[in-house]
Chains A and B, each alone.
Chain A
């Protein structure tokens, strides 16, 4: 305890002459840092109201509320997050998990108000002064993700293994892949509204995560009795609005549906779905056409106790599913698996029966309490260009049907297909396979009015067709089929500049100077399909109402002007398998209401 310890502390007095440290104007001189977690901002145009922010907030500070001026539509629930600052802790988990990236934080940190209700607000809608502030917390980059952005790739057979036969080339998910893909879902529920059948999609994806595939099958069958089929060829409108699709790949909902159906063996369906004994209520319903709409109507009517009989024109059931979609996309045994289950519920089916010639529709109307007609669009449409009436010019629908009927179809060495939709791709790839089998080499060209970026076919179809060595050359308008000595020589085309005009109406414009000639021995037209209403007699037609392009007008339950006749499927909505299924279900509900009034 010497002199040093007594005197040294006084050296602190030298600070008296130093300037103190002061921040004179904290509000302006000291803003929050670049990354500071301040008050919320939301871009209400980007936000889709998925509710993931509400699910992750551990203080339950976020509510989803409807906002004036924002309407509910496909892919947008119309709700927006409202925050309660009495509960928020500004952890920014809601920003990090936001599927569209619309919710962010500004770096503002002072807010004084005399009214406590002010502190519950909807950012983006209730204007605040920090809405334009660019600084603040945003989701960090660099591998920082709360869920996986890329989807699990679906294994497929390589082109060399699949282009000489009709075996199914998509091999399906394994258990681990399916669970990994199902893990990506955030259970927002926006997909359900867009699905025409309103399937419980988040619920069955959750069943895959919990490895409870029997529950998954039950959820599927509540709205869709054809899961093996839809799991392969559905047009997956749900995937287009999936919230993960905004900043990554949408969830592979279709392949997950196929996984559930694949894992459950058909022998166990009755037990899992528990639909063994339904009491018959004594009423009978006739169904024309065993396509998706007819089968779906039969299934739901059978479960309600009706005695259903299906009348099918072709030798096997399935409609467009069997006779329009090639086997490599939808194998026949999977169609049989779904259809056999529906038939096992007591639905009767008569094959090779043509309504209109073997029976009349009036006869059915008298014998049965109600009739559902789902005859579909099986007639091809023609371009009607010169030369299209030659015998070597075919319709895609006819050829696809004959392949499925296992008849021999003509397969020439050089083929041109006119059309750019999925049906055109189907016939192109089927003919490529047949050419491979018959000649050992492929020479088939598909051409369409639409240029490559607006082709209506799925992107994967075009890519896979090219892998199978077919040529896809879009953007040409057919002018004439050149005939010589009664044989087709080729197709003359001119460049198509645009297909639709400013109003969106179909009005193609061509450049006559840019010509091309596709050599061919056979031309296939695949530009659209029409309905065969030959079975509607004049008397029945007089009691129905028709709309533009000859479509029958029906009400919300698909009941036509003739009260015992219900019409649905491709001839009313679609053309799509899932629309057919939804129509059939709704019509079944309508028939039940009509017969029990």
Chain B
């Protein structure tokens, strides 16, 4: 709850509020006319994507929340069981919509591990570049997006424009803007076009300027600070209880980053630090993401400087039309902008995968954690809390 100001007596008259039981949970009696049940979503500017929150509200305090997902279930995991491995990847890429490259990477890495394929150097560098660019375009929308939930939409507009420029870079590198279909089992599907590094550097300069401007607009803003500091606090004990990963865990003081802990691709040749904070509220998480954004810009500059000029794009694999991956199972993970993103792949030695189960961070953030965090929060803060967890419904129900 917000700290009270000394000018006005802000303490609510709790006689009108529901009683609390011994756990601190409100006792809900829907016939007592103290409660309103309302739905936030699925078609709502106040949700990230298509999911809905069923809120039970007393006054303007949320006493119970339930997350309902299922509006984006496309059945990809079942579809992948009927497709060849090479046909799986256009299906897999659509599982998480905002950051599509992580899907391609974990599927390709899983297949390459099961079949012992070594990806060429150039392809590894290109994969790293593409994953960092994907993180960049997500953060360009999310970092100022936090303020949009509190009705400061200006930063979000700037961010969307710069994101569009990055999508242009994606278009000339991979051939698509949102679904890149660039990382395939064995390698990648194209090399840098000429002039790419210069155009990218121009865009990165604009982003540097943008970071300074949103620092002024959003993070040095009394309204933003008042509404986010102390709100949506994640207790550090919950990090292991709820399986929290990514910036949410880093803002609670846990130094966890898949790129450092389980290095993959070319991350062990790049120079970066993991930024943590201890305040674990919405403000803290926004700061962590802002630092991730600064770090990503720096990483892209390092990658473009260290990348070789040319090389093979794809390793030699069996004929993709009848590729039988040996029997086995594996779990591959990568760090998306939201946290640990992984794929559990089981193969039975035939041309089709037996089971491909995607683990998205929002599976726990948006369902169990959100339901816990929304209790006793103000209804005007629900959207802010949800966005601060960076929930992404497509990866919950695939």
Residues of A within 8 A of B (CB): 1, 4-6, 8-9, 11-12, 21, 32-37, 52, 55-58, 89-93, 96-97, 137, 140, 142-148, 183-187, 209
B225 interface residue (CB < 8 Å to A): yes
B321 and A97 within 8 A (CB):
yes
B321 and A6 within 8 A (CB):
no
Q: Tell me which residues from 209 to 225 in chain B have a Cβ below 8 Å from any Cβ of chain A.
A: 213, 216-218, 220-222, 225
B87 interface residue (CB < 8 Å to A): yes
How close is A16's CB to chain B, nearest CB, in angstroms? Answer: 11
A58 and B87 within 8 A (CB):
yes
How close is A12's CB to chain B, nearest CB, in angstroms? Answer: 5
- Contact (A35, B319) CB under 8 Å given A8-B220, A8-B221, A9-B220: no
Contacts of B161 in A (CB 8 A): 21
- Which listed residue, B191, B222, B319, touches A140 by the CB 8 Å rule? B191
- Contact (A56, B321) CB under 8 Å given A8-B216, A34-B193, A91-B181: yes
- Contact (A187, B91) CB under 8 Å given A8-B220, A21-B161, A37-B176: no
Q: Considering only CB atoms and an 8 Å cut-off, how many residues of chain B contact the other chain? A: 44
Enumerate the 3 nearest inter-chain pairs by beta-carbon distance, A residue then B residue, closest first.
Answer: A58-B87, A143-B312, A5-B222
A56 and B86 within 8 A (CB):
yes
Contacts of B171 in A (CB 8 A): 32-33, 35-36
A146 and B320 within 8 A (CB):
yes
Instruction: Identify 20 residue pairs between A and B in the complex whose beta-carbon atoms are under 8 Å apart, listed by A's number.
Output: A1-B226, A5-B221, A5-B225, A8-B216, A8-B221, A12-B217, A33-B168, A33-B175, A35-B173, A56-B321, A58-B83, A90-B176, A93-B86, A93-B87, A93-B90, A140-B313, A143-B314, A146-B321, A185-B319, A209-B322
B137 interface residue (CB < 8 Å to A): no
A147 and B171 alpha carbons, distance in the complex (Å): 27
B216 and A58 within 8 A (CB):
no
- Contact (A147, B321) CB under 8 Å given A8-B220, A35-B190, A140-B190: yes
Contacts of A57 in B (CB 8 A): 87
Contacts of B90 in A (CB 8 A): 58, 89, 91, 93
A427 and B154 alpha carbons, distance in the complex (Å): 88
Residues of B within 8 A of A (CB): 83-84, 86-88, 90-91, 120, 154, 161, 168, 171-176, 179, 181, 187, 189-191, 193, 213, 216-218, 220-222, 225-226, 310-314, 316, 318-322
A34 and B91 alpha carbons, distance in the complex (Å): 24
A283 and B160 alpha carbons, distance in the complex (Å): 87
- Contact (A34, B320) CB under 8 Å given A58-B91, A142-B312: no
A209 and B191 alpha carbons, distance in the complex (Å): 33
A97 and B222 within 8 A (CB):
no
Residue of B nearest to A30 (CB): B168
B320 and A137 within 8 A (CB):
no
- Contact (A36, B176) CB under 8 Å given A5-B220, A9-B217, A56-B86: yes
Contacts of A148 in B (CB 8 A): 316, 319
How close is B323's CB to chain A, nearest CB, in angstroms? Answer: 9
Contacts of A144 in B (CB 8 A): 187, 189, 313-314
How close is A577's CB to chain B, nearest CB, in angstroms? Answer: 30
How close is A210's CB to chain B, nearest CB, in angstroms? Answer: 9
A187 and B313 alpha carbons, distance in the complex (Å): 26
Residue of A nearest to B87 (CB): A58
How close is B324's CB to chain A, nearest CB, in angstroms? Answer: 9
A97 and B320 within 8 A (CB):
yes
How close is B35's CB to chain A, nearest CB, in angstroms? Answer: 34
Please indicate which of the listed interface residues A58, A145, A185 has the most CB atoms of chain B within 10 Å of its own CB. A58
B319 and A186 within 8 A (CB):
yes
A34-B193, A56-B321, A183-B318 given. 20 additional CB < 8 A pairs? Answer: A1-B222, A5-B220, A6-B222, A8-B220, A9-B218, A11-B213, A11-B217, A12-B213, A32-B171, A37-B175, A58-B88, A89-B90, A91-B90, A92-B181, A93-B86, A97-B320, A140-B190, A183-B322, A187-B321, A209-B322
A146 and B319 within 8 A (CB):
yes
Residue of B nearest to A58 (CB): B87
How close is B224's CB to chain A, nearest CB, in angstroms? Answer: 8
Please indicate which of the listed interface residues B86, B179, B312, B316 has the most CB atoms of chain A within 10 Å of its own CB. B86
Contacts of B181 in A (CB 8 A): 91-92
A185 and B191 alpha carbons, distance in the complex (Å): 28
A35 and B175 within 8 A (CB):
yes
Contacts of A52 in B (CB 8 A): 321
- Contact (A4, B220) CB under 8 Å given A12-B154, A58-B91: yes
Contacts of A90 in B (CB 8 A): 176
Contacts of A142 in B (CB 8 A): 191, 310-313
- Contact (A56, B87) CB under 8 Å given A34-B172, A140-B190: yes
How close is A346's CB to chain B, nearest CB, in angstroms? Answer: 40
A487 and B222 alpha carbons, distance in the complex (Å): 118
How close is B328's CB to chain A, nearest CB, in angstroms? Answer: 20
A209 and B91 alpha carbons, distance in the complex (Å): 27
A137 and B182 alpha carbons, distance in the complex (Å): 12
B86 and A143 within 8 A (CB):
no
- Which listed residue, A35, A143, A146, touches B172 by the CB 8 Å rule? A35
A35 and B217 within 8 A (CB):
no
How close is B305's CB to chain A, nearest CB, in angstroms? Answer: 21
Contacts of B312 in A (CB 8 A): 142-143
How close is A149's CB to chain B, nearest CB, in angstroms? Answer: 11
A57 and B87 alpha carbons, distance in the complex (Å): 7
B175 and A137 within 8 A (CB):
yes
A147 and B191 within 8 A (CB):
no
Contacts of A5 in B (CB 8 A): 220-222, 225
How close is A1's CB to chain B, nearest CB, in angstroms? Answer: 5
Contacts of B213 in A (CB 8 A): 11-12
